Amino acid sequence: MKIKIVVISMVFMMMCGSFSVSANIDIKDIEANSELTTNITTHDALKYWERYPYCPLGTDITFPLDEGVHNPEVFYPNEWWYANFLVTGKSTGSEYGVFVSFFKHPQMLLFSISDLNQKKSYTDSKFGTFRGAEGALDLTFSTLFDKDYWYTKQTEDGELIPFQYRIEVDGKDREYNNQKMEINVDMHCLKPPLIASGDGIVEIGTGGSYYYCQTKIEVTGDITVHGITEEITGFGWIDHQWRNLFMCQSSGRFAWEWFSIKLNDNSEILVGDVFWMHSKEYYGGYTDGLNLFNANNKLELYEDYTITQLDFWTDPVTERKFSTKWRLTEPSKPIDLTINAEFENQMMHIVTNPTLIELILKIFPFTLFWEGFCTVSGTIGDKQVSGDAYVELTHSWEDRGGTENIQEISEGN
């Protein structure tokens, strides 16, 4: 059972004002700063970030304050919390890709399990009542039939355990006879948060959002899918965005290809491209360049990257054409990675009724999207690397016709 979280936000803000440590510095940087070493032992320096409050330099984002819900809604109409996992079943040895998303507006929950051995994707989407606490992560999503939770873990005394979380989500698969699907996992961050673009702000059109990721998370718990329940272990990634990214004059005019990449050299990459919805022309990057979070927990930003689509697949339900293989290159590092979908059909159909699908395709086609597990291989510098990725595709490549007056909209931005 969860303990109610009570947080006085001003206390954390005052503490952050008096003690800040950047996510982009390493232990040597800490040791070189006498003011910091006065308060941090050598042992503590190894985990300088694993404490609350944690206040990275160069951004307004603080923890745990910004892990919670942001109000008032007029300033923060859009907010969502997202996690993806690669986990292995203890009894079957099966590998599963999983993603979960809680949305404040619209009040919605998305849940998907990709069985990587069977090459099948099990998905559910629910509309209900979202509730969340301010000042710390404590989310509840309710329907008439169940409740789902995502919260920061606590000690027996009710104190928050920094960067350790719990997710409890269940559902019924929409593709295969409403079979039960469920995940209950504990999460422990192994690296500090990646502050997207360095300042934690992304801007698309006339909208924008605050944005951070937690890129390497140890995951343990259990999973239920296609009639099997088993213990699991693995690793995950968390995203959190909030502000008015889509509540703007350009709302509904953009789509994207977004990548969260975890590599075996203890580095991670956040990168994505944004496209005009109707013309399908390239708009720009999802963040300020390719975000490489290296093994020393330092963020490296590279603007001159290219994502090239190498293969495609057409969803038979929506007839939308999605890319399923990519080459990611950047010349200065250099980076040269190939990203390949583990299997093609990893669609998230928020609705399954054919009439509703036809209507949504005309109004908001990006709500019927591809999200799935991929493998990664290639080189960074002179090193061979490999890993895995979760990729989200709201952009598609079929020719639906129609044009967008890009010049007019750009001037309006």
Instruction: Identify the pLDDT of residue 106.
Output: 87
- The pLDDT score that the predictor gives to residue 253 is 79
CA atoms of 134 and 44, how far apart (whole Å): 28
Same domain (yes/no): 165, 124: yes
Domain final position from 232, 248, 264: 248
Confidence of residue 6 (pLDDT cuts 50, 70, 90): very low
Q: Which of 18-32, 144-158, 177-191, 364-378 has the lowest mean pLDDT?
A: 18-32
Whether 325 maps to a domain, the answer reads yes
* Whether residues 141 and 282 fall in one domain: no
Residues 53-68 have a mean pLDDT of 97
Of 72-81, 293-302, 377-386, which gets the smallest average pLDDT? 72-81
Angle at 323 between CA 214 and CA 395, to 5 degrees: 70
The Cα–Cα gap between 143 and 126 comes to 8
- Asked if residue 50 belongs to a domain, the reply is no
Q: What is the pLDDT of residues 228-237, one digit of tens each?
A: 999 999 999 9
Please compute the mean of the pLDDT values over residues 293-310 and round it to a whole number: 97
Amino acid symbol at 168? E
Is residue 412 scored above 50 in pLDDT? no
Of 105, 42, 108, 58, which Cα lies nearest the Cα of 79?
105
Q: Do 78 and 137 share a structural domain?
A: yes
Q: Which residues contact residue 45 at a Cβ distance below 8 angstroms, ignoring those fewer than 6 apart? A: 27, 30, 31, 37
The whole-number pLDDT of residue 364 equals 67
Q: What is the dihedral of CA 152, 155, 158, 164, to 10 degrees?
A: -10
| pLDDT for residue 246 | 56
Q: What pTM was computed for the model?
A: 0.87
Query: Can you tell me which residue has the tokens 């789902």?
Result: 148
Two tokens, residue 197: 């673009």
In the predicted structure, residue 1 carries a pLDDT above the cut 70 = no
Average pLDDT over residues 356-374: 81
Specify the pLDDT at position 189: 98
- CATH number at 127 reads 2.40.370.10
pLDDT tens digits, one per residue of 166-212: 999 999 998 788 899 999 999 999 999 999 999 999 988 778 899 99
Q: Is the pLDDT of residue 259 over 50?
A: yes
Can you give the pLDDT at residue 366? 65
pLDDT mean over 351-359: 77
Q: What pLDDT shows up at residue 114?
A: 97
Q: Please tell me whether residues 263 and 279 are part of one structural domain.
A: yes
Mean per-residue pLDDT for 237-251?
A: 74
Same domain, 371 and 233: no
Give the span between the Cα atoms of 169 and 156, in whole angstroms: 23
Are residue 321 and residue 395 in the same domain, yes or no? yes
Please tell me whether residues 221 and 266 are part of one structural domain: no
262 and 218 in a common domain: no
- Checking if the pLDDT of 26 tops 60, the result is no
Residue 207 domain-assigned? yes
- According to the model, what pLDDT value does residue 41 have? 38
Q: What is the pLDDT of residue 15?
A: 55
Among the residue ranges 112-116, 134-138, 199-203, 279-283, the one predicted with the least confidence is: 279-283
- Residue 402's pLDDT band, with cuts at 50, 70 and 90, is very low
Q: Which of 136, 141, 134 is nearest to 72 (CA)?
A: 134
Q: How confident is the model at residue 321 (pLDDT cuts 50, 70, 90)?
A: very high
Are residue 209 and residue 271 in the same domain, yes or no? Answer: no
* Mean pLDDT across 324-335: 98
- In this structure, the answer to whether residues 233 and 150 fall within a common structural domain is yes
% the chain with pLDDT above 90: 69
Statement: residue 376 has pLDDT above 50: yes
pLDDT score for 252: 56
Query: Could you tell me the pLDDT band of residue 351, with boundaries at 50, 70 and 90?
Result: confident
H/E stretch holding 37 reads helix 34-37
pLDDT of residue 363: 67
Residues 232 and 160 in one domain: yes
Q: Looking at the predicted structure, is the pLDDT value of residue 32 above 60?
A: no
Say what the pLDDT of residue 345 is: 97
DSSP code for 54? B
pLDDT value at residue 3? 41
CA distances from 108 to 30, 49, 273, 367 (A): 42, 32, 25, 12
As a whole number, mean pLDDT of residues 287-306 equals 96
Do 333 and 348 share a domain, yes or no?
Answer: yes
Q: Which domain range does residue 35 map to? A: 9-45
Of the chain, the percentage scoring pLDDT greater than 70 comes to: 82
In this prediction, residues 146-172 reach a mean pLDDT of 97
Judge whether 55 lies within some domain: no
- 115 in a domain, yes or no? yes
Q: Indicate the residue among 248, 277, 305 that finishes a domain.
A: 248
**Count of structural domains, the chain:** 3
- What's the pLDDT at 268? 98
**pLDDT tens string 14-24:** 456 543 333 34
